[in-house]
Amino acid sequence: MIKEIKFTDKAIKEINNLLLNKDKGSFFRIAIKGGGCSGFQYDFSIDNKQNKDDLKFNNIIIDNESAQLLKGSEVDFVSELIGKSFKISNPQSKSSCGCGVSFSL
């Protein structure tokens, strides 16, 4: 399932950079949580525990429910005037807020 989510080279490079100084066995976790101004929001964190329902791709983990909502998405890392951030292009999203972190299905 995680193979149905694409990661750009820039995203992979930034994830690897973030994990360089973390404990061995740390993962970059991507999750979708309720909240934000549009109903759902993306959550990025460093985690050292892989749960039973997590899907794993290299050093990236995504829980199964979030992976379903991310199916067909592309994860990128962008540098813009307002700062640097991970950006997800999600074809399942019907709308998103101006900040790009919150979306609706």
Helices (H) and strands (E) in the chain, counts: 2, 9
Q: In the chain, what are the domain boundaries?
A: 2-92
Residue matched to tokens 């193979």 = 3
How far apart, in whole angstroms, are the C-alpha atoms of residue 33 and residue 39? 9
Q: pLDDT at position 95, please?
A: 56
At 26-56, the pLDDT tens digits run 999 999 987 766 678 889 999 999 999 999 9
> What is the bridge-based pairing of β-strands 74-80 and 83-89?
antiparallel
Superfamily of domain 2-92: HesB-like domain (2.60.300.12)
Q: DSSP label at 34?
A: E
pLDDT band at 60 (very low <50, low <70, confident <90, very high): very high
At 65-87, the pLDDT tens digits run 999 999 999 999 998 877 888 98
Q: Which two tokens stand for residue 83?
A: 């700062």
